[in-house]
Structure 1
Amino acid sequence: MAVSVETGRVAIAWEFDGSRFRLCWQEHGGPPVAAPERKGFGSVMIERALAAQIEGEVNIDFAKAGLICSIDAPLVAVEEGQAR
């Protein structure tokens, strides 16, 4: 996890593209990342439960340079009061 070291950083970018909302969380400057042999409870909750809640897609990439989490959802699903 990038924030576990002083040189680690997290870049968060988002965009609205018509009726879609996209967010990207990208860590860099931290210790090398390795994909787990199996996904733990937290990863499963983020990828499945969040995706269901926002009626979109959530992807976690354990890139060696740093974890990347991408979220893509209909804008209406992430507006206040619209999530299931």
Structure 2
Amino acid sequence: MQTSFPLGVTINGLPPIAAPIIPPGVVPPAAPSLGSPEQPQEPKPPTVIAQPSSVEALPASTPPARLPLLLAVVALAIVAAALVRTWMRRKAA
């Protein structure tokens, strides 16, 4: 099993590492100019002209259920009270 790392030496049966294309210390060439990106044109929003008699109110939304929220708040309060009680008993002992 070979474990050295110079260029041209195989490592664990892998093919040799190729020499770098650009030698160290040389500034690589600049990327080709791709030009300026095109500015996307924003579509104009459609103009809606409604007749005064055709306007309707939105339907009322249903309020969320309050029971699950109430149960979650009560459970959180019970857990917090139990933790505080445990912490206070430990400090007193």
Please say whether Structure 1 and Structure 2 have the same fold, judged by a TM-score greater than 0.5: no
TM-score, normalised via structure 2 length: 0.20
Q: With CA pairs under 8 Å and 6+ residues apart, which has the higher RCO, 1 or 2?
A: 1
Larger Rg: 2
TM-score, normalised via structure 1 length: 0.22
Q: Which has the higher helix share?
A: 2
